[in-house]
Amino acid sequence: MSPLFDTLQALLRQDARFFTEDGVLLRNAVCEAAEKMDPVLLRLLLSHPDTRARFFTEAAGVLVFDKAQFCWTVTSREFLPDSYTRFQNRIGLADRAGHLLSASGDTVLSFPFKDCVLEGGQTREDQRRGEVFYNEILAPQEIDQLLSPKVLVHPRRCTAAGEQPVTEIRPEDSLLIQGNNLLVLSSLRRRYAGKVRMAYWDVPYNTGSDCFGYNDRFSRSTWLVFLKNRVEQVLPLLAEDGVLLIQCSFHQQAYLQVLLDELVGNHVVTFHVLVRHPDRTLAADKAFNDVIEYVLVYAKSPQFQMPRIVQEKDVNDYCWAVEELAPGDAVSLGGRQARVLRPDQYRLVKRPADKTQFKVVSVRGSIREKTSSGRFYVKYLQPLEGQYPPKTLFQVEGIGDDAYSYRYFYLPPKGRKNGAYLQGMPTSSSQTRRPYPNFLDFVQAYNAVDREGTVSFRNGKKPESLIAYLMEIFTRPGDWVLDAFAGSGTTAAVALKLGRHFLCIEQMDYAETLTKERICGVLRGGENDVLPESGWRGGGSFLYCRLAKLNEAFAEEIAAAGPEDLPDLCRRMVDTGLISSRVTRADLQAAEADLAALSLPDRKRFLLELLDKNQLYVNLCDMEDAEFAVSPEDRAFNHSFYGEG
């Protein structure tokens, strides 16, 4: 039985209302008490730190009791031998009680294993294997252990000149960490909480043909759990004005957006990125030509405002002048003094561009609602279009932020639909701000992406120009950017060139041979042909390290072992408890003859698979234990990284 169940039963036994004389738990009585917010029950649950942490949430200094989670835990089958999830074995939209809906204003994405944590310990693209799901309520100890800070080993400072071991980290040091990205994200919290301005993730697309092979039976469910767990870990790392960007294909975009709406809630924009030319010839068996990818942008804060394109105002737009030929008639419009000049009482003259001239702004589209002059025209001048001749001019006092105390408006010319106003160059700013488009054409950059960087990365490399475009929208020089799926290292490369700090994570085996080498190439200045506008010429440094695996010593022993060493090695592995929970000592004894008949490479592969199922790592709290053989240098680095010692 789970330790949480043991604790909960012990607490409930203190109240005779909840058990029969024979000691049987009255589940309905417990749930009824929970529904009524029974004070005695609440005091019992609050008296133990485990139940307090699992069934209460603090909000504005007040503890809120989660009745639904508590009742589900109490009524779940004891031990839950064949399932750790309460969600239906299907995918759909469900309300908070788990009932499927066709439409609702309060929905969550329901899919298998949604209330679980998926470790996702894949280290090679060709791995296709099952994964262990840890339930959030019924396996709290396993999840706490999984997400506790991990030991970092073999830290090295990488520069253009080479690599050197280090025992401390500086505040400005960028990082590349090899290891399970879920565990690295949770380990970063102590040092980087609230510091990341932008997290960009180019996640596995789960197309059926890519490297996401965690659970074939529930492919979409597994993929969603995989991302849900990681999004939950990155949110505390984001600054208050930080954003999360996830790039994906059409295969899972809709499901991912609903999930992010629930987890984050502050959807800013979805960029539609053209990555292939529509006329490009693809495989004939494709149902359609897939040319668009999506970048979903979510903000941590509900108050976040999408940045705008800032441009210097162009004086060439200001080339019109009004020559008044008569004084006109005085009128009042919207409580403002105004003069009316009929078409024969003025001339609109085009002159050489000059800050003293006017720019013509047509009152149409968003101008009608988004500017004060547009709104004034719609409310007070548009109703006059039938009362005055076409192109009648109105000089209205007290409108605008230019050098003039008035603004000119004129009615639509004959045969035209829209009126206009004449705007002087604003004195409040020398810049103009306009919205970014949500459609981005990066076909040319994608066609040339294979030539970027110093490494080859099949089917996964993103153009530096795309990452730079996004980074320049949402960050400033000196900001921190985070990439939990570093891949070929494009995010780190762009961050260096644009003067940002990076936190990059890569759990695949190529982290050192590919990702790190790409970033080192940038330090050497070998990529100055990419993003030439950045003026990059090389220099700088970053730290590279990796998570310390509990089974790492065994993996090294397996690699070096001869056939006579393997039986003893296998027995020691079993004794440590670091093998898959699905394989018992009895299973191995029963298969001993079959194992002995395998070739040496196959026997080694089998033993490695016993260790690799769930990628256990050394927890920081165990670092001083001699059993884990963490070197003094690595211990010093961890004390520096986590702020201990």
**Res 639: pLDDT:** 97
The residues, any chain, with a CB within 8 Å of residue 571's CB and separated by 6 or more, are none
Q: What is the per-residue DSSP string for 374-395?
A: HHHIIIIIGGGTTTS-TT-EEE
Which residue in the block uniquely carries the two structure tokens 């009004």? 322
pTM of the model: 0.70
The pLDDT score that the predictor gives to residue 613 is: 42
pLDDT of residue 440: 96
SS3 letters across 41-64? HHHHHHCCHHHHHHHEEEECCEEE
Tracing tokens 């789960």 back to the chain, one arrives at 206
Band (pLDDT 50/70/90 cuts) for residue 138 is low
Q: What would the DSSP string read from start to end of 96-113?
A: TTS-B-SS-SS-EEE-TT
Rounded distance between C-alpha atoms, residue 605 and residue 566, angstroms: 11
Distance from C-alpha of 388 to C-alpha of 347, rounded to nearest angstrom:
17
pLDDT value of position 86: 47
Among 263-267, 486-490, 603-607, the minimum mean pLDDT is found in: 603-607
Check if the beta carbon of residue 502 is closer than 8 Å to that of residue 528.
no
**Paired tokens of 32:** 């009824």
212: part of which helix (H) or strand (E)?
Answer: none
CA distance 495 to 472: 10
Structure-token match 């040091």, residue found: 173
pLDDT for the residue 609: 75
* pLDDT mean over 492-505: 96
* 427 pLDDT above the threshold of 80: no
Region label for 334, one of left (φ > 0), alpha (ψ between -120 and 50) or beta (otherwise): left
Q: Under DSSP, is residue 408 helix (H, G, I), strand (E, B) or coil?
A: strand
Question: Can you tell me the mean pLDDT for 284-297?
Answer: 83
HEC-encoded secondary structure of 533-585: HHCCCCCCEEEEEEECECCHHHHHHHHHCCCCCHHHHHHHHHHHCCCCCCCCH
Residue 146 has pLDDT above 60, yes or no: yes
- Residue range 383-399, pLDDT digits in tens: 999 999 999 999 999 99
Helices (H) and strands (E) in the chain, counts: 21, 27
Q: Under 8 Å CB-to-CB from 410, ≥6 apart: which residues?
A: 348, 391, 392, 393, 394, 419, 420, 421, 422
Q: Where does the pLDDT of residue 156 fall: very low under 50, low under 70, confident under 90, or very high at 90 and above?
A: very high
Predicted local confidence at residue 104, as pLDDT: 43
Place of tokens 């720019």: 359
Measuring CA to CA, which residue among 187, 121, 2 is closest to residue 551? 121
Strand partners, 619: 150
The more confidently predicted of residues 231 and 585 is 231
d(CA 65, CA 53): 10
Phi, psi of 450 (to 5 degrees): -60, -25
% of the chain with per-residue pLDDT over 90: 50
Residue from 200, 263, 231, 286 nearest 120 by CA: 231
Burial of 329 (0-12, 13-18, 19+ CB in 10 A): exposed
Residue range 498-502: average pLDDT? 97
Among 93-102, 240-249, 325-334, 429-438, the least confident range: 93-102
From CA 470, how far away is CA 437, in angstroms rounded? Answer: 12
CA angle 557, 558, 562 (to 5 degrees): 95
Residue 1 has pLDDT above 60, yes or no: no
Rg of the chain over Cα atoms, rounded to whole angstroms, equals: 32
- 83 falls in which pLDDT band (50, 70, 90)? very low
Element (H, E) at 239: strand 238-248
Phi and psi at 245, nearest 5°, equal -115, 125
Q: How far is CA 427 from CA 396, 421, 638, in A?
A: 18, 17, 54
The set of long-range contacts for 556-564, using a CB threshold of 8 Å and a minimum separation of 24, is 558/604, 558/607, 558/608, 558/611, 559/604, 561/604, 562/600, 563/600, 563/603
Tens digits of residue pLDDT in 359-368? 999 999 989 9
Q: In 416-479, at which residue ranges do the beta strands (DSSP E only) sit?
A: 420-424, 431-434, 439-441
Grade residue 623 by pLDDT with cuts at 50, 70 and 90. Answer: very high
- Domains detected in the chain: 1-77 (no CATH), 117-307+438-547 (3.40.50.150), 330-434 (no CATH), 552-614 (no CATH)
Q: How far is CA 477 from the centre of its chain?
A: 20
* Nearest-angstrom CA–CA distance, 184 and 192: 12
- Rounded to whole angstroms, the Cα distance separating 471 from 589 reads 56
Work out the mean pLDDT of the chain and round it to a whole number.
84
